[in-house]
Amino acid sequence: MGPKDAHSTVLSIEEEAIIVAFRRHTLLPLDDCLYALQPSIPHLTRSSLHRCLQRHGISRLPKVEGDKPKKKFKRYPIGYFHIDIAEVRTGEGKIRLFVAIDRTSKFAYVELHERAGKMVAAQFLRNLIAALPYKIHTVLTDNGIQFTNRKQDTSAFAHIFSRVCREHGIDQHQTKVNHPWTNGQVERMNRTIKEATVKRYHYDTHAQLETHVTDFIAAYNYARRLKTLQGLTPFE
């Protein structure tokens, strides 16, 4: 007779416990788990990680409601940013999450603001431009009044967000009306940030949330290795 309990000949019990806890806490895909865990477990391979997750019944991630089959994005040079605004809450009430993510490098930039007007959106874009070591050539937003004039505002001055784009030689694109999934990449980033923060923890103040979001984005940009980038981090 063989052993009653399946176990690894490569991983120790302690290492398996680390892997299981990490997977359950982060819900990261297989390759992202591998890249994140290898510094701590250097002999970990993709196959040994997969077998470990299978043994513990967590080799498949839970399906997220609303997920649809993925379509490949057209390839662009770095500098194509998706921008969106999401609403989150702390003990002090509502606050808006401004998120930008590069379609190609996956580099993310985030700010929290109590208001979500067009002047705030324009300053967010200026701050994004100043924070990057490379030039933005295109931004994609929805059709919200923070980013563009309404169709009925035919006699209005050029929108401040559009003016900032023009001043910096940036092409401004909007998603098609009633087609929000066109901006799905930044919507997914919004969800990732929420799952790591407000859906998991309670924050008494906006400042507590801002500190955690800042730390999370720094870890994402400089330490999280992504399968879509062949194991590189967004910063790399």
**What are the tens digits of pLDDT across the range 181-206?**
456 777 888 888 888 888 888 999 99
The mean per-residue pLDDT over the stretch 151-171 comes to 85
Q: What is the DSSP letter of 46?
A: H
pTM value? 0.65
Q: Report whether 34 contacts 53 (CB < 8 A).
A: no
Contacts of 50 (CB under 8 A, 6+ apart): 30, 59
CA dihedral of residues 189, 190, 195, 200 (deg, nearest 10)? 140
Can you spell out the DSSP letters for 207-228?
A: HHHHHHHHHHHHHHHHH---GG
**pLDDT tops 70 at residue 230:** no
Where is average pLDDT lowest: 4-13, 65-74, 88-97? 65-74
Span 80-229 CATH architecture:
2-Layer Sandwich (3.30)
Where is average pLDDT lowest: 151-155, 161-165, 197-201?
Answer: 151-155
pLDDT range class, residue 137, cuts 50, 70, 90: very high
Q: In what order do the strands lie in the sheet with 108-113?
A: 108-113, 93-102, 80-90, 138-141, 171-174
pLDDT recorded at residue 179: 47
Tell me the domain boundaries of the chain. 13-55, 80-229
The overall average pLDDT reported for the chain is 81
